[in-house]
Structure 1
Amino acid sequence: MRQIIEYLEENPIIAAVKDNADIEYVIKTDVKVIFMLFGSILTIQNTVSLLKEKGKKVYVHIDLVDGLGRDEEAVKFLKGVGVDGIITTKPTLIKSIKNEDLVAIQRLFMLDSRSLETGIKSIVEERPDAVEIMPGLASKVIGIIHKKIKIPIIVGGLICDKTDVINALSNGAIAISTSKKELWNE
């Protein structure tokens, strides 16, 4: 986890890639950390290899890889592919990810006060290496969670411009994941 934090201190923008066109674009940028939000069991290894060859740190959202289960065997498969970490909305996978010495990032959707409470409880119980909070515009929520946990916070979703990035960082986020290509070069 320390290595991702060092990369994010240098550039707090994480490229959230959703398709092959995004991959082609991001390899030409200075962004070092990639969140892969697509793929299939048939293509993931080639995509991860390409990104790693270009010096990128690759974190795959396991829930979004077609043909791949959401279990311990899928975690082992992704480790074999060479990912640096795994993103998931499934708190039960956090332990398996950490057991494979991969960075575990738990993605939480903040919809209301109940999801805030259950999200904090899940973080405290499962102890992921980092948490990704969505949507990223919820600056008050970022601040509340930042005060209650001692885990790095990444925010994503609905980040539209540099002001959104600054607001998130000033409220306790260490980084922003975004699919907005214009922010990848900021």
Structure 2
Amino acid sequence: MSFNGQAILPAIRSMKDFEKMLSMKYEYGVFLDLHIGQVKSVLDLAQQNGKKMFVHLDLINGLAGDEHGVEFIARYAKPYGIISTKGSALVKARQKGLVATQRAFILDSNAVNRSVRLAQKAEPDFIEVLPGVAPKIIQLIRHETGKPVFAGGLIETKEEVEAALSAGASAVTTSDVALWKEFAGN
């Protein structure tokens, strides 16, 4: 299973990587580590190139990662969607017509339970599970929430991507350009 035909969601950490992503056939991607002053220009450039981008709300420097930050980013920059660990931001994103992705750090069974409760309350469109190298957790979160799952974090090889997808991940988020290239034709 893949996200709209994409096994990989390129995670952009630099403008150099963004340029690489623009030259590839990927339609969807994720911006990490942006400065608030860059958000509108990079999203405009992405849209001009037919790219639909998520922004990681919690990692935008100079912007609060709360519901007010969502309102601002939705009106000002119009991303395809947001990624956040905060339930209020996810709810507001959906209200504003953005695709909402809950980022869940799964460290132990308590984290699983908290993530499931947050998903039930916030009703995100997707859940990004970190680390993504745990197929058992991908299956568990998908089963418990009924939501499509992205796998991210610590995935470094083609085999790990394939294992995450086989476990039911809809896509793998990665900043590893070599993996982008490996899966660009898929």
Q: State the TM-score, normalized to the length of structure 2.
A: 0.93
Q: Distance in 1 between matches of 2:168 and 2:93?
A: 25
Q: Alpha carbon RMSD of aligned pairs, Å? A: 1.4
Aligned AA (1:79): A
- Summarize the alignment of residues 28-43 of structure 1 with structure 2, pairs less than 5 Å apart: 28-43=23-38
SS in structure 1 opposite 2:43? Answer: helix
Aligned AA (1:144): L
Give the unaligned 5+ runs of structure 1.
Answer: none
- Cα deviation 1:104-124 (Å, max 9, x = unaligned): 100000111111111111111
User: Is the aligned partner of 1:119 residue 2:115?
Assistant: yes
How far 1:78 moved relative to its partner? 1.4
User: Is the aligned partner of 1:48 residue 2:39?
Assistant: no
SS in structure 2 opposite 1:9? Answer: coil
Q: Distance in 2 between matches of 1:96 and 1:107?
A: 15
SS in structure 2 opposite 1:68? Answer: coil
Q: State the TM-score, normalized to the length of structure 1.
A: 0.93
How far 1:134 moved relative to its partner? 0.3
User: Is the aligned partner of 1:58 residue 2:53?
Assistant: yes
4+ residue stretches of structure 1 with deviation over 6 A? Answer: none
How far 1:97 moved relative to its partner? 0.8
Aligned AA (2:57): I
Which of 137, 147, 166 is the matching residue for 2:133? 137
Which of 167, 171, 184 is the matching residue for 2:180? 184
Aligned AA (1:161): T
Aligned length: 181
- Percent of aligned pairs with the same residue? 33
Number of the residue aligned with 1:97: 93
User: Is the aligned partner of 1:25 residue 2:20?
Assistant: yes
Q: Distance in 2 between matches of 1:126 and 1:150?
A: 13
